[in-house]
Structure 1
Amino acid sequence: MKYVLPILLGRLVRIIARARGGGSAYPGYLVLKLLPSFLTDVTKQFDRGVLFVLGSNGKSTTTHMLSDVMRAHGLRVFTNPTGANLPQGIASALLSEVSIFGKLKADVGVLEVDEAFAVELSGHLHPSTVLMLNVQVDQLYRFYETSRVADMMTDTAATAGTHVVTNRDDEYLGPFTSSTLDVTRFGASTELVAEAPHGLQNASAFGGQTEGSAPLQAEAEVRALSAQGATIALSRATGGGSSSLDIRLPAKGLHYAVDAAAAIQTARVALGSEFDESKAVAAFAAMKPAYGRGERLKIGTDEAEFVMFKNAASLQLNLDALADAPEQVLLAIDEGTPDISWIYDVDFSSLDHVDVVSGEKAWQIALRLEHAGIPIGTVEPRIEKAIELMKALPAPASKTKNFIVNYEQMMIARKMLGYPDLEKRA
């Protein structure tokens, strides 16, 4: 009975928060205050354990991919689909799934986790597998140095129960080894990375580390990329043998293909002999884009395609993935990204204009675009008004209006288009 009151109160607060238009992590904070053992008690019910997903960028996308692949193998998956990756956010996500008696009908937990809280959460959730995606320049106002983020990830990886999956091409993470854990890797071929306009934006590419002397093997490697999908070569660390998967990607870009390789390799080690390549391919064929990452939502008779970013690396990689300059573009950043001085490191040449610039940082963006010689239609700091301006533009020939936004602006825009939260996705 110890669960009933905290869970009921948490759900009540959750209902109130949503009625007021928020997705608040406060319900989870409240439950953890009332019942500190909530996370441990609930997640120890997973027969297949907990899988952690860490990384500067790509956590939500990879968590989404990995969850769908695990479901394709018949497992019931609990995850945090909106990207709430702090302890209180994960507790809030659990509130929607757990019974009032603390019972959870799921076989495995697939969780994206904030790097700064990952070691703490590992003490509560005891992950069987830890996936490390990348170390990229991100939130320096919070982390100060990228090397600190790498240390947070590798410290968490060392707490894994059985498996660690890491990025062969990230010089902070690739060399990770353990005498007690099974360590495997994913990556992209040298040729593909060289062809990318700005590489994969790993922090080590900016002088953070020196090159290793011995090449590392990637058990899952992206070998080819197209507008629709990718080819991923799979090999075994021991015993030889290899295969190749042609998969459809839910969003465009080499970074999404690398995320897919990471998800597939993590599913391989988590499922062991139960992993079925055909089921993984089927999962990607049916996969929708992750929340706000390549989603296409109706906006009148057209569609709004959302590209979400939070730092220079994610913005650059998404701009690089554009096949052509978009016909209509809204670019918005608000105070959720406190310091945007990094926009001067971003190459905006894939855009030939921006129709509407919005968010609290609108004038800073406009100044950067002016320096880049990119024409601007309107600067409108209020995102609500900016969306109305986008709606009023003539229908583009492509039937697509591109929304390049950070997380907070994406949430507001989705609500204005009639998609108030993840549970109500089209």
Structure 2
Amino acid sequence: MRYRLAVVAGRLARWLLRLRGGGSAVPGRVALAIAPRFLERSVSRLPLGVVFVSGSNGKSTTTNMLTGILREHGLNVFTNPSGGNLPQGIASALLATVPLDGYVRGDVGVIEVDEAYGVELANVLKPRASLLLNVQIDQLNRFFEPTRVVGMLRSIGASSSDFVVVNADDDSLSRVGAELVAEGRDVSTFAVAAALIAASPNGLANVEDFSGAVSAELPAPTVTVAELGARTARLELNGPDAQARSDAEGGSDAEGAESVEIALPARGLHYAVDAAGATAMARRLLGGRFRSDAVSRAMSSLRTVYGRGETLRVGDEDIEIIMMKNPPSLQLNLDYLDEAPEQVFVAVDEGTPDPSWIYDIDLSSLEHVDVISGTKAWQFATRFGYAGIPVGSVVPELRPALTAFLALPKPARGTKTMIVNYEQMMLIRKQLGFLDLEGGEQ
């Protein structure tokens, strides 16, 4: 009876909040207040269990990719599509589909989890496997230093009952993977051709680990990003007898490898790395049921996670949203711009409490900024001034700033471009009439 009440009350809260537009973690809070074991009960009957996806950047995108690939293989997948990766956010996602008895129907759960909440969630959701993406400079006001994040991700990996998939080209995670191997744990890896990393202006932007030799060798990558196009990539799927990668050749010399060409949801090597991680996890999870052509089909029909390279149609023109979650996410997105945007809108608020990291960012891909908004607008305007990048106007209030930017004539080339933090992205989408902030009913 308690779980039925939790579902009903949570859905009522969800409906009331949606009347004003957008999603919220409040429905999840309501459900958990009524039934504290709501999360644990909900996923306990999934035949293939729960898979965690975590890391500094790319969690939402990779979760979306992995979900799409598994669904293309015919699996019924529960996921948290909005990127709500705290307990209340996951509970809110559950309320979209869970029956009144509180048990999710499906084959597997693919859950994006916040690094700091991963261990707590592991105790509740009991993951079968985890996919660890990267360790990058992120939320120093919250995490203080990257080594704390390494420990969090290691705990998530160690909590997985069956296996772990790690990024072999992330110094910190390769060490975590090697430590887990030394402990007798089942570890798989994915990687990037060395030539692609060298060609990227800022590499993969992962934290470098100078702590010394690892305790054991990692298994050879099962998936490698071999080539990168404008919005495409070629993944090399290495055979079971794969040998170590050849650094000199920048690829894999594995025997029995096959390739798959995929579309990417947005520009950049970082999106290809996310795709490699998702494919490696799908391959390990599915075993003999895995089909490379299903990866290609899934990626070609993938819906972009909102705010992550998303293009919105507003009136008669397109607007591209580039989200700045932290220094690496902004830098990599700027690195892979096709050309300097003709029209640029920047909006940053208190969701970025200390924006001083903007001084470490190479802004040379921008020629100017038309409008800057948000409570951090003048701090960003100062940084652009030091970089010699002209700023048209600074309008801290979002609504008039957005009105002024939209009033600009349609660009002669490309699209209007918005560079925003997460909180401003949510507000902008709402003001533009895009209210599907929970990512749709999935």
> Does TM, normalized by the shorter one, top 0.5?
yes
Q: Is 1:127–1:160's contact at 8 Å kept on the other side of the alignment? A: yes
Shift of 1:19: 2.3
Secondary structure at the aligned position of 1:115 is classed as: coil
Structure 2 residue 419 is the aligned partner of structure 1 residue 404: yes
Q: Which residue of 2 aligns with 1:233?
A: 236
Alignment correspondent of 2:401: 386
| 1:368 equivalent in alignment to 2:372 | no
Whole-Å separation in 1 of the counterparts to 2:381 and 2:332? 20
Mapping of 1:106-145 within 5 angstroms? 106-145=106-145
What's the RMSD between the two structures over aligned residues? 1.7
Identity, % of aligned positions:
50
Cα distance between partner residues in 2 of 1:7 and 1:212: 47
- Aligned AA (1:168): A
For the residues of structure 2 that align with 1:424 and 1:242, how far apart are their CA atoms? 35
SS at match of 1:173: helix
- SS of structure 2 residue aligned to 1:256: helix
Residue 75 of structure 1: SS of its match in structure 2?
Answer: coil
User: Deviation of residue 209 (structure 1)?
Assistant: 4.3
Amino acid at match of 1:352: E
> Is residue 334–residue 361 contact of structure 1 (8 Å, CA) maintained in 2?
yes
Which of 294, 313, 331 is the aligned partner of 2:328? 313
Q: How does 1:28-177 map to 2 (within 5 A)?
A: 28-175=28-175, 176=177, 177=180
**Residue pairs, 1:203-222, within 5 angstroms:** 203-204=207-208, 209-210=211-212, 217-222=220-225
Q: Which structure 1 segments of 5+ residues have no match?
A: none
- Structure 1 residue 61: deviation in Å? 0.5
Correspondent of 2:193 among 185, 189, 201 = 189
> Does structure 2 retain, via aligned residues, the 8 Å contact 1:358–1:380?
yes
CA contact (8 A) 1:32 1:38 kept: yes
Deviation string 1:86-105 (CA, Å, 9 cap, x unpaired) is: 01110111011111221322
Q: Distance in 1 between matches of 2:93 and 2:120?
A: 18
Give, in angstroms, the shift of residue 217 of structure 1: 2.7
* CA shift for structure 1 position 424: 7.4
What code does the residue aligned with 1:313 have? P
Distance 1:304 1:140 in 2: 30
Q: Report Cα offsets for 1:338-385 as digits up to 9, x if no partner.
A: 111111111100000111111111111000000000011111112222
Distance, in Å, in 2 between the alignment partners of 1:399 and 1:351 is 14
Q: What amino acid maps onto 2:102 in structure 1?
A: G
Q: CA deviation at 1:24?
A: 2.0
Change (3 A) 1:360 1:99: same
Letter in 1 for 2:187: V
**Stretches (4+) displaced over 6 A:** 213-216
Is the 2:26–2:92 contact (alpha carbons within 8 Å) kept by the matching residues of 1? yes
Post-superposition offset of 1:118: 0.5
Q: Does 1:421 align with 2:436?
A: yes
| Paired residue type of 1:287 | L
Structure 2 counterpart of 1:29, one-letter code: R
Q: Tell me if 1:252 matches 2:252.
A: no
For 2:439 and 2:241, how far apart are their aligned partners in 1? 45
Name the amino acid aligned to 2:423: E
Contact 1:174 1:216 in 2 (8 A): no
Decide whether aligned partners of structure 1 residues 312 and 23 sit closer, same or farther in structure 2, where only a CA change above 3 A counts. same
